[in-house]
């Protein structure tokens, strides 16, 4: 008896994973994944460095720089925006799993494709409004860093743009997986 046979199955964690595509498309998506994971990691490291600086300044220096709180807030906003697509791609976002484990593999892939379609349509529909919102900040600067706020407000464009892009990638991969499963199933039955 193998380890996989002896381990109890957890139906809530057996939701079908969308297999990634190979070839040029797969390499391009992996490159995008690495890029946005790196950028999000740099934002996280930046937050840690700025917060540590603030703590050290409050304890050891006669004054604490006022800009650290503002910069950490902006880095956090971009951390969320840059990682939004990766969270969607890896199915790590908050969701309620009530019935998916009752579906067949094909049903689970169809469900995931439907979720990607819904998220993608919503996010793509929000991009023009996010761009309008980002343009509002062209005439404002941040209080302490004096950064034009359109750079900060552009995080909404990044968030919705990456969500739409990664939803399209997930939908494509789910459709390909459904097609492969259908051809594989038809070969087995004939």
In the numeric block, the tokens 């498309």 are attached to: 25
In the numeric block, the tokens 């941040």 are attached to: 142
Residue 9: its pLDDT value, please? 47
Spatial contact of 189 and 160, defined as CB atoms under 8 Å apart: no
Mean pLDDT by 10 residues, the chain (190 residues): 43 61 90 96 97 93 90 97 91 76 87 93 97 92 93 96 95 90 61
Residue 90: its pLDDT value, please? 83
Q: Which residues 6+ apart lie within 8 Å of 58 measured at CB? A: 64
What one-character DSSP code corresponds to residue 148? B
Residue 93: its pLDDT value, please? 75
Residue 188: its pLDDT value, please? 58
Residue 101: its pLDDT value, please? 79
Residue 1: its pLDDT value, please? 42
Residue 16: its pLDDT value, please? 59
The span from the CA of 13 to the CA of 74, in Å, is: 34
Residue 21: its pLDDT value, please? 83
Residue 94: its pLDDT value, please? 73
Where are the chain's structural domains? Answer: 22-92+102-189
The span from the CA of 156 to the CA of 165, in Å, is: 14
Residue 112, both tokens: 């995931």
């Amino acid at each position: 008896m193998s380890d996989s046979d002896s381990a109890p199955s957890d139906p809530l964690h057996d939701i079908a994973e969308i297999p990634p595509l190979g070839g040029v498309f797969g390499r391009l998506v992996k490159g995008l994944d690495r890029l946005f994971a790196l950028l999000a990691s740099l934002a996280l490291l930046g937050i840690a460095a700025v917060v540590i600086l603030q703590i050290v300044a409050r304890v050891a220096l006669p004054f604490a720089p006022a800009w650290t709180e503002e910069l950490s807030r902006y880095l956090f906003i971009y951390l969320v925006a840059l990682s939004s697509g990766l969270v969607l791609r890896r199915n790590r976002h908050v969701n309620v799993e009530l019935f998916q484990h009752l579906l067949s593999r094909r049903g689970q892939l169809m469900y995931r494709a439907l979720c990607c379609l819904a998220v993608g349509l919503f996010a793509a529909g929000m991009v023009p409004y996010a761009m309008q919102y980002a343009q509002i900040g062209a005439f404002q600067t941040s209080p302490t860093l004096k950064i034009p706020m359109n750079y900060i407000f552009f995080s909404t464009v990044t968030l919705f743009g990456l969500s739409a892009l990664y939803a399209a990638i997930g939908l494509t991969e789910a459709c390909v997986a459904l097609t492969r499963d259908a051809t594989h199933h038809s070969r087995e039955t004939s």
